[in-house]
Amino acid sequence: MKPKSILLVSNYYPPEQGAAANRIQVLAQALRDDGYVVQVVCPLPNYPSGTVFSSFKGKMYTKTVENGIIVHRLWLWPSKSSNKFVRLVSMLSFAKSLALFFILKRIPKLVFIQYSPVFVGFTAVFWSRLFGKKIILNVSDLWPLAGLEMGLLNKGFYYSILEKMETFCYRKADLILGQSEEILHHIKSKKVQKPTFLYRNFPDFTPDEVLSKTPLQPVKIVYAGLLGVAQGLSEIFSKITIPEDVEFHIYGEGPEVEKITRLNSSKISYHGAVTRSQLHQELRQFDIAFIPLVRRIYGSVPSKIFEYTRLGLPLLYMAGGEGGELVQQNSLGWVIEVQDFVELQNFLENLTPINVQKFPKEVVQQKALQKFDFTTQFTAFKKELENL
C-alpha cells in the first residue's frame, strides 16, 4: 500500500523558536509517526532576529531530512522592521518563492496551510486549489482583523484587499482548523460552508513531575516568549511599581529587547533567549508565569497557557478573551483584565507565598495533562483528515 503523503506550509519552523514553529513541528512528527510521508516548506530560518541564521546565509533553497521529515527552506528577504511597507515586501518575497515551489515541485494531494500571514496563506491556497489539492487551513490568527485591533492596520483599500484574500482562503479550503472557538465563530460569520475543527496549540512533551513545596520570598514571576509590541512588557512595567518581595524574570527576544534591558529596576532580570529544553528546566524555579497582551485580540488564545501549565506553573493572565475563560474554568491561575494596571498593582502588592499556594503546582500540572492532551486531539483530527 502506497504511504500517505502531506505537505505542511508554514512561515515558521525549527531551528526557529516560538509557538508557531513548535506547533508545526509537533504536527509533522505526529503525522510521521502515523505513517505519513511528511514534507514541510518554510522560509530560511530568520525569526525573531529578522536576519537569516548564519548556517543558512547565502542560500536560495535547501532540502534536508530531519527526523524523517523532508524540509524545504526557501529564500526570502527577511526583516523585523516595524515599517508596514518593509514588512509587506518581506512577506511578498517568501510568497514569490512559495509560488515557484508549487510550480516546480511535485506536491502531495494533501496540503496543510498555516494561516497567517495573509499573503503566505493566500499564495499556498491559490496554487493548491489550482493544482486540485485537498486543503487543510489552520487558522491561528484572524488577520487582518488582529492587525486592526493591534493598531497595525487601518480600514481602507489595503485592508479590504486583505479581507478578500482572507475570505478566499476560507472558501477554498476543504477543512478549516481554528485554534479558538472565537476563530471558528468568525469564519462562520463569513457565511463559509466548510467543515471546521477546534484544534488548539497543545504541546506534546513529557514534563518532569512537579514536587510540592511552599514558595519562598521573594515570589518569582516569569515571562518567556516574544518581546514584542503586542506583549507590551515595557509599557506594563512603566505603569506599575514592583513590590520589594516580588521579582520578574524575562526570557526571550524580539523588538522590545532594548527597552527591556534599559529598565532600571533591580526587581526585573532579563536572561536572554535560551533553547526550549533549557527553558523548561529553568522555569521550574519560578512560582508564577505571566501572560500579557496590551490589547485584547479577538480569536487569540496564547499557546503559553498550555505550555506553562503543563510544566506546573500557575498563570497570571492579562491577555483577555477566550484564554482568560480557559484559565478561570480550569482554575489555572489569576485573571486580570487587559490594561487594568491598577488591579495588577493591587495583585502584586498582596502577593505572598501563601497566596501562590491557592493554585498548587502539582494540581495545575495534573489539570493541564488531563484537559490539554495533544494525543486525544490529534486522534480526532486524524478522523477529519481521513474523511477528505
User: What would the pLDDT profile of 259-306 be if each residue is shown by its tens digit?
Assistant: 988 887 889 999 998 989 999 999 999 999 999 998 888 999 999 999
CA distance 156 to 264: 41
Per run of 10 residues, the mean pLDDT along the chain (length 388 residues) is 89 90 95 97 90 91 97 92 80 94 97 93 97 97 88 89 96 97 95 94 91 82 91 93 95 89 88 92 95 91 96 96 95 96 97 93 96 96 92
Grid cell digits, residue 125? 491556497
pLDDT on residue 19: 83
Listed in sequence order, the residues at least 6 apart from 314 whose beta carbon sits closer than 8 Å to its beta carbon are: 287, 288, 289, 332, 333, 334, 356, 358, 359, 361, 364
Query: In one letter, which amino acid is 6?
Result: I
Burial 250-264 (b: 16+ CB within 10 A, else e): bbbbbbbbeebeebe
User: How many beta carbons lie within 10 A of that of residue 272, not counting itself?
Assistant: 10
Which H or E run includes 234?
Answer: helix 233-239
What pLDDT is recorded for position 116?
82
Q: Is the peptide bond before 45 cis (omega within 30 degrees of 0)?
A: no
| Domain 219-371 homologous superfamily, CATH | Glycogen Phosphorylase B; (3.40.50.2000)
Alpha-carbon distance 127 to 125, whole Å? 6
* The C-alpha cell that represents 132 in the structure block: 486540485
Phi/psi at 168 (5° precision)? -55, -45
Q: How far is the CA of 265 from the CAs of 50, 226, 262, in angstroms?
A: 28, 21, 9
- One CATH from 1.10.1740.10, 3.30.70.1070, 3.80.10.10, 3.40.50.2000 for 5-202+373-386: 3.40.50.2000
Cβ neighbours for 271, distance < 8 A, ≥ 6 positions apart: 249, 250, 251, 282
Residue pair 84/111 in contact (Cβ under 8 Å)? The answer is: no
Cell reading at 133: 489539492
CB 204 within 8 A of CB 377: no
Say what the pTM is.
0.90
Q: Where are the domains of the chain?
A: 5-202+373-386, 219-371
Identical topology for domains 5-202+373-386 and 219-371: yes
Can you say whether residue 176 is alpha, beta or left, with left for phi > 0 and alpha for psi between -120 and 50 degrees? beta
- pLDDT at residue 1, as a whole number: 65
